[in-house]
Amino acid sequence: MCGIAGQIGGDVRPLLPVFEDMRGSLSRRGPDQRGMAVFDAAALIHARLSVMDPENGRQPMRYGTYTIIYNGEIYNTPELRRELAALGHTFENRSDTEVLLHAFAQWGEAAVDKLNGIYAFAVWDEKLGRLFLCRDRMGVKPLFYARRRGALIFASELKALLRHPWVEPEVTREGLAQVLLLGPGRVPGSGVFKDVFELLPGECGFYEPGTDTLTLRRYWRLRDAPCTDTFPEAAEKVRYLVTDAITRQLVSDVPLCTFLSGGLDSSLISAVADGEYTAAGRKLDTVSVDYLNNAKYFKASKFQPNSDPEFIKIMADFLNGHHHLITLDTPELVRALYDAVEARDLPGMADVDSSLLLFCREIKKLATVAVSGECADEIFGGYPWYRDPTVREREGFPWAQSTAYRASFIKDGVLDVDPAEFVDHYYRKTCRESDILPGTDPLETRMKQMMNLNVDWFMQTLLDRKDRMSMWSSLEVRVPFCDHRVAEYLYTVPWEYKDHDGYEKGLLREAMRGVLPDRVLWRKKSPYPKTHNPAYLAAVNRELEAVIADKTQPLHEIVREDALRELMVSDRAIPWYGQLMTTPQTVAWFLQLNHWLRTYKVKIL
């Protein structure tokens, strides 16, 4: 993966030191090579992490009048290369960047309809004097932008935009409401900071500096269609799609490994990858995470019915590769809370973020590419809120049924919105915009709304987490379940198929029979592991107590001290966000909020 940034419009040459600074802020995303192309009214900036054809895939890359900067991987590169070669194109290297550039030269914006991959890219057309921007269908790779002084400024991460003197760390009351009431989620397309936006998943368009015109369109989104497949036919199709997605994403010219939690999703990926590696006479590296003394303190819950080590061992014995265990301890988890904010540029998922950041830091010592089971739950209906009729019929985001509780922390006068109405507006908007065929029965209608809510909101939070925490250590993480073909098909499949035999992700389990040991194939869902050590709560409580004692800390401007003190002695069962953010993580989230306000010098308007 890489980092991209740029400015289109205005006199760019006096801003070269600024562009160098922006590129420097993206060096963790791309430590291997640095590039910049400057034109009369355009500057394109690139920081490269070399994965495919390290010697020759340098960027910005030029072909004819087109110059591209690109972050991502195109998984159907071989097919596109053959198709373009048949049309007369010749290639100088093996990189997917060159294929993508030639595809745009050949088909223009229609090229995006041919892509299978994760990507954010920009193409400057020197002849027409305009920029094309594009983001992948599922939103795996980020792309933020701001319009200032008749110019468009864009970047892979918010931190790079904020290095530009025209983009200030200002947050409106609406942006603050997002952080306090929806965080760590964000409104789709919002960059939280004032007049900073993010290209939506499956969005592309042109910017013309001469008229300061930005024209965007959605080239892809989930669309409903009749499903005439029987259950066996659906299972066969799912097996093909999932296996093909995993196999495509194993291509790499640098060392690759897979995450392995012992759960269904990462185990499937590891098993398919292991088969490919074994057939090629190679050994696959798999990597797991655990926490010091976690077995001692683990308590089964509705969301975490069992711990991972037993199932990891089953899989490690089943596979033919090399397994690696990374163990994290409480002090480093607490310290990394602040790095996680600076990786995400916003308050995040507390130690759910910081543990992944530390995990990826250790994985980087082993590999440059990792493959993860993220996003299967959103697409196959794996979360508890899909399957609990009481929860799924309740109005509101099912992973954050806590608006009133959140609002109780906020000082009077800080927000100028009604918290319940603010959250409800975005919830209803997503439900209303879900594409559902006329005549669909109420249960199927609700389940399609649920999938859209999860894909547009919860999944985006997890993809943000995966991208920023991994790229902090220059590690590329791929997510095969985010293959758009899988999502397209599963959106049309009846809920009874997904819930086959009353199992979460029952269709996926049935489709992949024989790939895994039965104990793993039918293991009840357990989320990403978190620490259960009471020392963690004690540590974050001490940190928060220090913040409370220092009246100069910015948290005091927006949060009630009495509510924070009550939080530190509470044991609240309803999570702040998702399944994992209970009391210790909520305390840590406020630490992250304070660090963000202070470090980014956030000005609330």
Tens-digit pLDDT profile for residues 90-119? 999 889 999 999 999 999 999 999 999 999
Sequence-ordered list of residues with C-beta below 8 angstroms from that of 392, at least 6 positions apart, any chain = 385, 386, 398, 446, 447, 450
The mean-pLDDT minimum among 208-212, 225-229, 383-387 falls in 383-387
C-alpha dist (Å) from residue 13 to 34, 108, 130, 164, 175: 18, 28, 18, 14, 32
Per-residue confidence at 47, pLDDT binned at 50, 70, 90? very high
Can you tell me the distance from the alpha carbon of 173 to that of 177, in angstroms, rounded to the nearest whole number?
6
pLDDT 10s digits, 249-302: 999 889 999 999 999 999 999 999 999 999 999 999 999 998 887 767 666 655
Can you tell me the distance from the alpha carbon of 193 to that of 600, in angstroms, rounded to the nearest whole number?
11
Whether 2 is catalytic: yes
Largest Cα span, the chain: 70
What is the SS3 string spanning 169-238? Answer: CEECHHHHHHHHHHCCCCCCCECCCCCEEECCCCEEEEEECCCCEEEEEECCCCCCCCCCCCHHHHHHHH
- Average pLDDT for residues 50-63, to the nearest whole number? 82
Catalytic residue among 2, 204, 375, 482: 2
- Average pLDDT for residues 152-159, to the nearest whole number? 98
Under a CB-based contact definition with an 8 Å cutoff, are residues 367 and 483 in contact? no
- Average pLDDT for residues 199-215, to the nearest whole number? 97
Per-residue confidence at 368, pLDDT binned at 50, 70, 90? very high
Under a CB-based contact definition with an 8 Å cutoff, are residues 136 and 1 in contact? no
pLDDT beyond 70 at 1: no
Task: Map out the domains of the chain with their CATH numbers.
Answer: 2-218 (3.60.20.10), 231-521 (3.40.50.620), 534-604 (no CATH)
C-alpha dist (Å) from residue 248 to 36, 66, 336, 541: 30, 28, 33, 45
Q: Is the dihedral of CA 188, 464, 578, 502 positive or negative?
A: positive
Per-residue confidence at 572, pLDDT binned at 50, 70, 90? confident
Which is nearest to 255 in space by CA: 504, 580, 545, 474?
Answer: 474
Give the pLDDT of residue 29: 94
Per-residue confidence at 575, pLDDT binned at 50, 70, 90? confident
Give the pLDDT of residue 506: 96
The mean-pLDDT minimum among 180-194, 568-582, 588-602 falls in 568-582
Query: Among residues of the chain, what percentage have pLDDT more than 90?
Result: 86
Give the pLDDT of residue 324: 97
Token code pair at residue 207: 């910017």
Give the pLDDT of residue 294: 74
Strands (E), 49-181: 61-63, 66-74, 117-125, 130-135, 144-148, 151-155, 170-171
Can you tell me the distance from the alpha carbon of 505 to that of 34, in angstroms, rounded to the nearest whole number?
43
Give the pLDDT of residue 302: 59
Give the pLDDT of residue 301: 59
Can you tell me the distance from the alpha carbon of 271 to that of 63, in angstroms, rounded to the nearest whole number?
40
- Give 398's Cβ-side CA count (13 Å radius): 26
Give the pLDDT of residue 67: 98
Give the pLDDT of residue 249: 97
pLDDT 10s digits, 160-177: 999 999 999 999 999 999
Give the pLDDT of residue 304: 62
- Average pLDDT for residues 15-38, to the nearest whole number? 95
Tell me, what DSSP letter sits at residue 57?
A: -
Give the pLDDT of residue 226: 96
- Average pLDDT for residues 186-208, to the nearest whole number? 98
